[in-house]
């Protein structure tokens, strides 16, 4: 494996990610790899897991590897309905190939309903496993948008995420 120094990443780096998906009928609601009981789900080519997508973009941004659409285009039938946890695992592999490991992830899911509190631990466990991290290194928060904007009108959900990476120790 190529060391981080040879790939040019010599310091800790932060990345930001954002995603939004529109509510739609007839699909399960999947966030953080957890299927959440609800009357409707989110539209999208994959499983429409906006939380995982935002985290993918945060990690990719931190290692300077573009964005999720460049790596997993929604025009590719291979990604139709795919679990976004598979994509996150591949993103971790991209970070590893660039000589980095993910230090921590923090994300905020913005949606009016349903309440996510009961599902947060499951999301954290899924994300930590995909990134080969301790659960304690993953933080997921949920907020409403106080009825304002597209989230407030019930049109969709939004997610913001940051990830910190550092050069992996090369042995
Ligand atoms: Mg997305």
pLDDT at 6: 54
Q: pTM here?
A: 0.94
Distance between Cα 18 and ligand 1 center (Å) = 9
Distance between Cα 68 and ligand 1 center (Å) = 8
Judge whether residue 110 has pLDDT over 50.
yes
pLDDT tens per residue across span 36-46: 999 999 999 99
d(CA 79, CA 71): 11
Name the pLDDT band for 7 (thresholds 50, 70, 90). low
Q: How many Å separate Cα 160 from the centre of its chain?
A: 9
Contact of 96 with 1, CB cutoff 8 Å = yes
Distance between Cα 21 and ligand 1 center (Å) = 6
Q: What percent of the chain shows pLDDT beyond 90?
A: 87
Interstrand relation of 34-36 and 29-31 (parallel, antiparallel or unpaired):
antiparallel
Distance between Cα 108 and ligand 1 center (Å) = 15
Distance between Cα 4 and ligand 1 center (Å) = 29
Convert the chain into a string of H (helix), E (strand) and C (coil).
Answer: CCCHHHHCCCCCEEEEEEEEEEEECCCCEEECCEEECCCCEECCCCCCCHHHHHHHHHHHHHCCCCCHHHHCCCCCHHHCCCCHHHHHHHHHHHHHHCCEEEEEEEEEEECCCCCCHHHHHHHHHHHHHHCCCCHHHEEEEEECCCCCHHHHCCCEEEEEEEEEEEECCCC
Q: Which domains, from first to last, does the chain contain?
A: 5-167 (3.30.1330.50)
Looking at residues 145-155, what average pLDDT do you find? 97
Distance between Cα 14 and ligand 1 center (Å) = 20
Judge whether residue 3 has pLDDT over 90.
no
CB contact set of 104 (below 8 Å; sequence gap of 6+): 133, 137, 138, 139, 163, 164
Distance between Cα 20 and ligand 1 center (Å) = 6
pLDDT tens per residue across span 152-168: 999 999 999 999 999 99
CB contact set of 2 (below 8 Å; sequence gap of 6+): 97, 99
3 or 107: which leads in pLDDT: 107
76 or 136: which leads in pLDDT: 136
13 or 5: which leads in pLDDT: 13
Name the pLDDT band for 74 (thresholds 50, 70, 90). confident
Distance between Cα 87 and ligand 1 center (Å) = 11
């Amino acid at each position: 494996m190529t060391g981080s120094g040879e790939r040019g990443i010599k310091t800790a780096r932060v990345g930001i990610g954002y995603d939004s998906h529109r509510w739609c009928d007839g699909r399960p609601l999947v966030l953080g790899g957890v299927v959440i009981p609800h009357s409707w789900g989110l539209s999208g080519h994959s499983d429409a897991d906006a939380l995982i997508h935002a985290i993918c973009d945060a990690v990719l941004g931190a290692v300077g590897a573009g964005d999720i659409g460049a790596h997993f285009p929604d025009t590719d039938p291979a990604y139709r309905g795919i679990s976004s946890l598979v994509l996150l695992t591949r993103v971790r592999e991209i970070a590893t190939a660039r000589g980095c490991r993910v230090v921590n992830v923090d994300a905020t899911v913005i949606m009016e309903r349903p309440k996510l509190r009961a599902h947060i631990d499951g999301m954290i466990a899924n994300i930590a496993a995909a990134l080969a991290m301790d659960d304690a290194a993953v933080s997921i928060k949920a907020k409403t948008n106080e009825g304002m904007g597209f989230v407030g009108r019930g049109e969709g959900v939004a997610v913001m995420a940051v990830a910190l990476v550092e050069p992996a120790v090369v042995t």
